[in-house]
Structure 1
Amino acid sequence: MIEDISVRGFTEDTRRDSTRCMKALGAFISRSPDSATAEDLRRFQSQKTRADIRPSG
C-alpha cells in the first residue's frame, strides 16, 4: 500500500492517514486489513459514522 501511495505521488499526509486507517481497520476486525471483506468495510464505516468520524473522499 505504501509503495502504491509513493508511486502515485501522494503526500506524506496521505501516507500517514492511510496507514492509520488501515491499523484501525485491522484492530476493528481483529485480523489483517488485507483479509477484510466488503461486509467488514461496511461495518467499519458504519461504526466510524456513528462515532461521527466520516470517511474522507
Structure 2
Amino acid sequence: MAKRRRKTKKTDDAIVTANDLAIIGAGFAALGNFFELLSLLKLREEETADGEAAKTPKPKRS
C-alpha cells in the first residue's frame, strides 16, 4: 500500500503589504510613546525622592 502525500496549496498569506507595515509602524510608535511616558514618570519620582524637584520652582502658566 502506497503512502498518500498531502497536497499543499501555496497561498499568498506570507506577503506583507504596505498597509500591514503601516499598522506595525504605528504600533511601534505608540509603544515608544508609552515607554517615554513611563520614563518621565520615573524621572519625576526619582527627583521628588532626592528633593531636587522641591528646590526648583515650577514655571507659572499664563
Higher relative contact order, structure no. (Cα contacts within 8 Å, ≥ 6 residues apart): 1
TM-score > 0.5 by shorter chain: no
Higher helix share: 1
TM-score interval (norm. to shorter): 0.3 to 0.5
Answer with 1 or 2: which has the greater Rg. 2
